């Protein structure tokens, strides 16, 4: 997978997280996975379809999701209820919108699906036909991994 697909998502995640959480964000080392990989507990998935296709996953632990949603709402949320999920969805929406604007400027055209939120223990994601690039973002609330598996349409 070409690195140029993931960079806009990483930049957008960095900007949006910093702005909505008003905190320091540290970018971890990029790594590549071509086999099945574990998902941490809460994952927001956005699909892309156009002259590039694939999916972006915003992956975090349950505790991180709750801490992030709590901070975005300005109140302590006790469980991952509808409001907390709507908050993580909106976070994924904002990051994706910013990244897509950049990708469109670079000449890639595609449509997006609305984010879907997956929650659960021991989940794995497998992208059998395209490898995934992952960039961890480290926040005081925990780690969010930006996991992008996108390719040019064949």
Partner 1 sequence: MKTKMDFPSINERKPEGVKEDGSPYKVLVVDDSMFVTKQISQILTSEGFEVVATASDGLQGLERYKELYPDIDVVTMDITMPKMDGVTSLEKIIEFDKEAKVIMISALGKQDLVKKALLIGAKNYIVKPLDRVKVLERIIQSIK
Other beta carbons within 10 Å of 69? 24
Is residue 153 classed as helix, strand or coil in its secondary structure? coil
Site string for partner 1, 59-88 (x = CB under 8 A): -------------xxx-------xx--xx-
Residue choice 98, 110, 123, 130 for contact with partner 1 (CB under 8 A): 98
* Number of Cα atoms under 13 Å in the Cβ half of residue 34: 3
* Number of Cα atoms under 13 Å in the Cβ half of residue 146: 28
Residue choice 1, 6, 10, 16 for contact with partner 1 (CB under 8 A): 16
CB of residue 69 to partner 1, shortest distance in Å: 8
CB 41 within 8 A of CB 122: no
Does the protein bind partner 1 through residue 93 (CB under 8 A)? Answer: yes
Which residues of the shown chain bind partner 1 in the complex (CB under 8 A)? Answer: 16, 19-20, 72-74, 82-83, 86-87, 89-90, 93-94, 97-98, 100-101, 104
């Amino acid at each position: 997978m070409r690195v140029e697909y993931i960079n806009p998502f990483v930049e957008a995640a960095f900007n949006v997280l910093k702005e909505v959480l008003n905190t320091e964000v540290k970018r971890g080392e990029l790594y590549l996975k071509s086999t099945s990989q574990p998902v941490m507990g809460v994952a927001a998935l956005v699909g892309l379809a156009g002259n590039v296709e694939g999916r972006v996953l915003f992956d975090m632990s349950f505790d991180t999701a709750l801490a992030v949603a709590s901070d975005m709402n300005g109140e302590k949320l006790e469980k991952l209820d509808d409001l907390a999920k709507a908050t993580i969805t909106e976070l994924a929406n904002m990051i994706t919108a910013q990244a897509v604007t950049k990708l469109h400027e670079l000449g890639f055209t595609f449509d997006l699906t609305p984010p879907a939120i997956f929650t659960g223990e021991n989940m794995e994601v497998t992208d059998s036909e395209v490898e995934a690039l992952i960039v961890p973002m480290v926040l005081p609330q925990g780690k969010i991994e930006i996991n992008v598996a996108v390719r040019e349409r064949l």
